[in-house]
Amino acid sequence: MNKVVVLGATSGIALEVQKQLARRGCDLLLVARSAERLAALQTDLQLRGARRVLAHCADLGAVSEHTGVLAFVSGTLPDFDTVLLTYGTMHDQVLAARSVEAVIEELRVDFVSAAAILTLFAADLERRRGGCIAAITSVAGERGRRSNYVYGSAKGGLSLFLQGLRSRLHPAGVRVITIKPGPVRTSMTDNLPTAVKLADPRRVAADIVRALERRSPDILYTPPVWRLIMAVIRLIPESLFKRLAL
Amino acid sequence: MRNLQSGSEGSAAARATPAVLSWGRYPQLHHRALHKPAWRDQLPRVLEAAAPGSLLPFGLGRSYGDSCLNGGRELLDCSRLDRVLAFDETTGVVRCEAGLSLADLVGIFLPKGWFLPVTPGTSLVTVGGAIANDVHGKNHHCAGTFGAHVPRLALLRSDSGLLVCDAAEHPDLLRATIGGLGLTGVIAWADIRLKRVDGPWINNESIPFRSLKTFLDLSHESNERFEYTVAWIDCFAGRNARGIFFRGNHAAGDRQEFRPRHGPTVPFAPPGWLLNPWSIRAFNATFYALHAHKRGAGRESYQAFFYPLDSINDWNLLYGRHGFLQYQCVIPEQRLDAFEELLERIARSGMGSFLGVLKQFGPAPPPGMLSFPRPGLTIALDFPMRGEKTLSLMRSFDEVVRQSGGALYPAKDARMSPELFEVSYPQWRDFVPYLDPKMSSSFWRRVTGLG
């Protein structure tokens, strides 16, 4: 984990992960939409200790831009060893549940585009026989809840995709990590009801960096208590689960 | 990437407003909205949407009273604006966003051989907060306040956009913003002149003293030889102030590696009776005995020397759910009689708490219009909030402060009267023209009566 490509470098969790990777002296290649924000991050992460910070401006939600992203990566950091996918979108579920456009948009960004770009990076790492792919999904992807199933189904789909990818890339020695955070205090969750307990993004980032450094786990729950919570939630029979206002 | 809530990127128009408390957890006010922009390009929208007098920039909430609160109105939380924008290795001037914490700043630049020119007793404050309160530290006698090391800043105002303020352009707005309690606009970025140090270690000495006179002699004698001086006093001792005098300098040429500590967290607010006159008296006596016993010279990390309480996360919870008040005043040095009278009143009350902190301010004229430090002796002391009993006790301290020509520190205050503010900060009327029309705070409304 010395040369890391971050897809979605301006997302709340990525910001904290990048600070911690910079402190370790990593090479970073940041991809995000806003050139202005990327420029601010470049200087900041350089001063925080990153060996080198490269930046590429692209809309990752648009599959048509993906080959350009891979071309930039191959041209500037061809020996990258880690890809971390952090971008995502979470619509207001009340809106999303009734709007076909909102449902399609969420699935398109969080699932379709993510699966598409990881397919490109997977081929590159498989050819070089090594490295690591890590992507942020969500505990919301484990069961469809009435309050968040559009986002949940996109993230759940991505989790399944990563599971298959992990198995496929295992013989090539490429590691695939599914990162499942609980709700984290970032811009994405500012509008959630205050009753939701939000995790500190620095702590979540520390868990992610540790997972990237080590050989395990395949599936990271962060904060770790979510592994336990989800184990219980998975046990609830569907006939009961559908009645719960979760 | 598409990281933000649907449709309203970054406006963070809070539908549900989480409770925001200041460090003293008193007063407990409700806020209508909490904006948390993650990027500077989102600030203009927040300012634009705000009603007149409705906003206040907020950092890490380490102000003790209500100067960082805006009850019934809105807060603009700047803590996600924490980027370092530029650094000049020849001059040591760093340009950073206002939400960067001093802890992060030190973490980034100490390994490169640079340290804060002035640091308060906690590193868990933002650069913006340090400027807005023009904070001071143990080197006030030789370095002045934090604002004296801020040669330039960019202020985003609701009425005139982004203004770069320095000695040449808008010098008066720079003077108003330093110590301006966040009321002159949002600091978009600031330049800070860091200073060269050899490493993270401090050579320190601790010397017990048993009278105010001895303290002053020690302080005068140390001011020329030591960059940092401060004392702790036992608030139960009255006019025969007993305490420990600490002084130190950056250790030269020591590059021995230093690993930061991570301390425990106070998990919840314990019952109020835990802190009572007996337990506190016992703590203070033990503290004095321990330090008097190990008096002498030593070496410790900058964290242990400057930020002893930062190692206990959320220590403010120890005061229970009603919170606490900190009383910090400055009294001119020639009014030692008044200072002794104050110590006497504190001791007689039996309500004081841990670690009264005592420091002699230097003569440097403050860089801000509303800066607190002025030549004299300053003391800071915590009091658990016990309702009217605590408030009336503090009013009796106020009498002494007022008669001696002293002042209270807005960053620590939750209750000073408009009259006391008027006599100790008469220049506040000159400050009014520099207010950003969309900014206000609970403190400001309380002490000035302005909307």
pLDDT, tens digit, 9 for 90 and up, residues A42-64: 999 999 999 999 999 999 999 99
Q: Is there a contact between A47 and B6 if contact means CB atoms under 8 Å apart?
A: no
Q: Side-chain half-sphere of B219: how many Cα atoms within 13 Å?
A: 25
Contacts of B111 in chain A (CB under 8 A): 49
Average pLDDT over residues A94-98: 79
Q: Tens digit of pLDDT for each residue in B88-125?
A: 999 999 999 999 999 999 999 999 999 999 999 999 99
Q: Is there a contact between B87 and A47 if contact means CB atoms under 8 Å apart?
A: yes
Task: Determine the pLDDT at residue B234.
Answer: 86
**Residue A102 and residue A89: Cα distance in Å, rounded?**
11
Instruction: Give the number of other CB atoms < 10 A from CB of residue A215.
Output: 8
Tell me which residue of B94, B127, B266, B291 sits closest to B205, measured CA to CA.
Answer: B291
Domain spans of chain A?
A: 3-241
Give the residue from A15, A20, A87, A187 with the most B CB atoms within 10 Å of its CB, the best one to mutate. Answer: A187
**Residue B162 and residue B155: Cα distance in Å, rounded?**
6
Mean pLDDT of chain B: 90
Handedness of CA A214, A219, A222, A226 (dihedral sign): negative
Name residue, tokens 């002084």.
Answer: B247
Task: Determine the pLDDT at residue B6.
Answer: 33
Q: Is there a contact between A89 and B3 if contact means CB atoms under 8 Å apart?
A: yes
CB neighbour class for B418 (10 Å; exposed up to 12, middle 13-18, buried from 19): exposed
Please state, in angstroms and as integers, the Cα–Cα distance from residue A157 to each residue in A62, A231, B24, B134, B187, following that order: 18, 19, 46, 52, 43
Asked whether residue B227 carries a pLDDT value surpassing 70, the answer given is yes
Which residue intervals of B229-358 are DSSP H helices? 277-293, 302-306, 336-349
CB A82 within 8 A of CB A211: no
Lowest-confidence segment of A107-111, B95-99, B317-321 by average pLDDT: B317-321
Lowest-confidence segment of A124-128, A151-155, B9-13, B250-254 by average pLDDT: B9-13
Contacts of B17 in chain A (CB under 8 A): 194
**Residue B94 and residue A46: Cα distance in Å, rounded?**
13
Task: Determine the pLDDT at residue A32.
Answer: 98
Task: Determine the pLDDT at residue A246.
Answer: 82
Q: Is there a contact between B1 and A40 if contact means CB atoms under 8 Å apart?
A: no
* Interfacial residues of A (vs B; Cβ cutoff 8 Å): 7-12, 15, 32-34, 36-37, 40-41, 43-44, 47-49, 59-61, 86-92, 95-96, 102, 109, 186-188, 190-194
Which residue intervals of A146-220 are DSSP H helices? 149-169, 201-213
- Kind plus residue range of the DSSP H or E element containing A35: helix A35-47
Q: Listing from the earlier edge strand, what are the strands of the sheet with B84-88?
A: B84-88, B93-97, B186-193, B152-157, B161-165
Average pLDDT over residues B326-333: 96
Average pLDDT over residues B192-202: 96
CB B200 within 8 A of CB B249: no
Task: Determine the pLDDT at residue B2.
Answer: 38
Instruction: Give the number of other CB atoms < 10 A from CB of residue B299.
Output: 14
Higher-pLDDT residue of B239 and B160 is B160
Task: Determine the pLDDT at residue A91.
Answer: 83
Average pLDDT over residues B334-356: 87
Contacts of A190 in chain B (CB under 8 A): 5, 12, 14, 36
Instruction: Give the number of other CB atoms < 10 A from CB of residue B172.
Output: 12
Tell me which residue of A28, A24, A72 sits closest to A52, measured CA to CA.
Answer: A28
Contacts of B83 in chain A (CB under 8 A): 40-41, 43-44
Secondary-structure breakdown of chain B: helix, strand, coil percentages, each rounded to the nearest 5: 30, 25, 45
Tell me which residue of A30, A25, A31 sits closest to A59, measured CA to CA.
Answer: A31
Name residue, tokens 């006790």.
Answer: B393
Q: What share of chain A in percent tops pLDDT 90?
A: 87
Task: Determine the pLDDT at residue A245.
Answer: 83
Q: What share of chain B in percent tops pLDDT 70?
A: 92
Q: Tens digit of pLDDT for each residue in B120-168?
A: 999 999 999 999 999 999 999 999 999 999 999 999 999 999 999 999 9
Q: Is there a contact between B4 and A102 if contact means CB atoms under 8 Å apart?
A: no
| Amino acid type, A225 | V
Lowest-confidence segment of A22-26, B10-14, B18-22, B81-85 by average pLDDT: B10-14
Q: Please tell me which of the candidates A44, A87, A193 has its beta carbon nearest to residue B1.
A: A87
Q: Please tell me which of the candidates A32, A86, A191 has its beta carbon nearest to residue B5.
A: A191
| Banded pLDDT at B12 (limits 50, 70, 90) | very low
| Banded pLDDT at B3 (limits 50, 70, 90) | very low
Task: Determine the pLDDT at residue B302.
Answer: 94
The CA-based angle B39-B43-B48, given to 5 degrees, is 155
B30 interfaces chain A, CB cutoff of 8 Å? no
CB B328 within 8 A of CB B380: yes
**Residue A83 and residue A138: Cα distance in Å, rounded?**
18
**Residue A103 and residue A86: Cα distance in Å, rounded?**
20
CB B119 within 8 A of CB B102: yes
**Residue B66 and residue B26: Cα distance in Å, rounded?**
8
Name residue, tokens 């330090």.
Answer: B291
Region of residue A200 (phi > 0: left; psi between -120 and 50: alpha; otherwise: beta): beta
Asked whether residue A141 carries a pLDDT value surpassing 90, the answer given is yes
Q: Is there a contact between A48 and B108 if contact means CB atoms under 8 Å apart?
A: yes
CB B5 within 8 A of CB A90: yes
Name residue, tokens 């420029």.
Answer: A39
Q: Please tell me which of the candidates B5, B39, B86 has its beta carbon nearest to residue A190.
A: B5
> B285: distance to nearest CA of chain A, Å?
38
Q: Tens digit of pLDDT for each residue in B256-298?
A: 667 666 667 777 777 766 777 777 777 777 777 777 776 778 9
Asked whether residue B7 carries a pLDDT value surpassing 60, the answer given is no
DSSP A52-97: EEEEEE--TT-GGGHHHHHHHHHHH-TT--EEEE-------HHHHT
For strands B243-250 and B201-209, give the pairing: antiparallel
Average pLDDT over residues B414-427: 97
> A21: distance to nearest CA of chain B, Å?
13
B93 interfaces chain A, CB cutoff of 8 Å? no
Contacts of B39 in chain A (CB under 8 A): 10, 34, 37, 40
B162 interfaces chain A, CB cutoff of 8 Å? no
Q: Is there a contact between A92 and B87 if contact means CB atoms under 8 Å apart?
A: no
B262 interfaces chain A, CB cutoff of 8 Å? no
DSSP B406-424: -EE-GGG-S---HHHHHHH
> B233: distance to nearest CA of chain A, Å?
37
CATH number of A3-241: 3.40.50.720
- Kind plus residue range of the DSSP H or E element containing A13: helix A12-23
CB A31 within 8 A of CB A7: yes
Q: Is there a contact between B15 and A191 if contact means CB atoms under 8 Å apart?
A: yes
Task: Find the closest chain B residue to A46 by CA distance.
Answer: B84
CB B382 within 8 A of CB B354: yes
Higher-pLDDT residue of B243 and B258 is B243
Asked whether residue B14 carries a pLDDT value surpassing 60, the answer given is no
Instruction: Give the number of other CB atoms < 10 A from CB of residue B314.
Output: 13
| Banded pLDDT at A193 (limits 50, 70, 90) | confident
- Kind plus residue range of the DSSP H or E element containing A128: helix A114-128
Instruction: Give the number of other CB atoms < 10 A from CB of residue A128.
Output: 15
Q: Is there a contact between A92 and B18 if contact means CB atoms under 8 Å apart?
A: no
Contacts of A78 (CB under 8 A, 6+ apart): none
Lowest-confidence segment of B59-63, B315-319, B442-446 by average pLDDT: B315-319
Give the count of Cβ contacts less than 8 A between chain A and B: 93
Tell me which residue of A124, A108, A127 sits closest to A116, measured CA to CA.
Answer: A108
Q: What is the ipTM of this complex?
A: 0.92
Task: Determine the pLDDT at residue B58.
Answer: 98
Asked whether residue B1 carries a pLDDT value surpassing 60, the answer given is no
Q: Please tell me which of the candidates A40, A49, A187 has its beta carbon nearest to residue B3.
A: A187
| Banded pLDDT at B254 (limits 50, 70, 90) | low
Q: Please tell me which of the candidates B16, B38, B84 has its beta carbon nearest to residue A187.
A: B38
Contacts of B387 (CB under 8 A, 6+ apart): B322
Residues in a beta bridge with B324: B384
At what angle are helices A149-169 and A114-128 packed, to 10 degrees? 10
Q: Tens digit of pLDDT for each residue in A30-45?
A: 999 999 999 999 999 9
Rounded to 10 degrees, the C-alpha dihedral B134/B138/B141/B146 comes to: -20
Q: Is there a contact between B12 and A86 if contact means CB atoms under 8 Å apart?
A: no
Tell me which residue of B257, B411, B207, B245 sits closest to B328, measured CA to CA.
Answer: B411
Asked whether residue A130 carries a pLDDT value surpassing 70, the answer given is yes
Tell me which residue of B417, B409, B419, B414 sits closest to B441, measured CA to CA.
Answer: B414
Structure tokens at B329: 């005043």
Average pLDDT over residues B431-451: 96
**Residue A100 and residue A82: Cα distance in Å, rounded?**
35
